[in-house]
Structure 1
Amino acid sequence: MEAIGQFIPLILIFAIMYFLLIRPQQKKVKEHAAMVEALRRGDQVVTQGGLIGKVSKVKEDNEVEVEVADGVKVRVVKSTIAQVLNKTEPAK
């Protein structure tokens, strides 16, 4: 019985860490993955490097082509998109 009593604080610490750190981080990762999957041509995005541009092409191999200035296009890995500023309206 005493052995169980010694493990209760450890279990409580793990539960608190789970609800305060692990679970919110998993939710944030899931939201980022959904945002990256929903990228479409015409969306204005910010990369983790700070580049702001408009998506000109969504490629199948985990890349997007972003136009950062007139005629200047860069290939960006989808997971490095930090934020979508302006979403385009869905095609009907």
Structure 2
Amino acid sequence: MAVIAVWKCDRDGAMFENKKDAEEHDKMLELAANLTSLIEQHLPNVSENDSEAIGLLLAKRRETLAKACKGKPELLLEEADGEEENADNVTQLTATQSA
């Protein structure tokens, strides 16, 4: 039997075969948590589930968002075309979490 080293992210339990991917995932989740806190502080009427979904979406798209802030806002729309299915998945996940 072979032994396979894996790294587990303590924030969500995700497993990775290499440390670099695990650390990148953990950083993304940390950014998502901080974005969620920012949203909740400034938009108190947004539900907790929605603010978490928004924070996670922004964290996952941080590179495109950074480019958009530097003068290429059209990049957000290009990515949005392929994101309709992912948006449905986020909506389903949010509904499942609140049930």
Q: Same fold (TM over 0.5)?
A: no
Task: State the structure with more CA Rg.
Answer: 1
Question: Which structure is higher in helix share?
Answer: 2
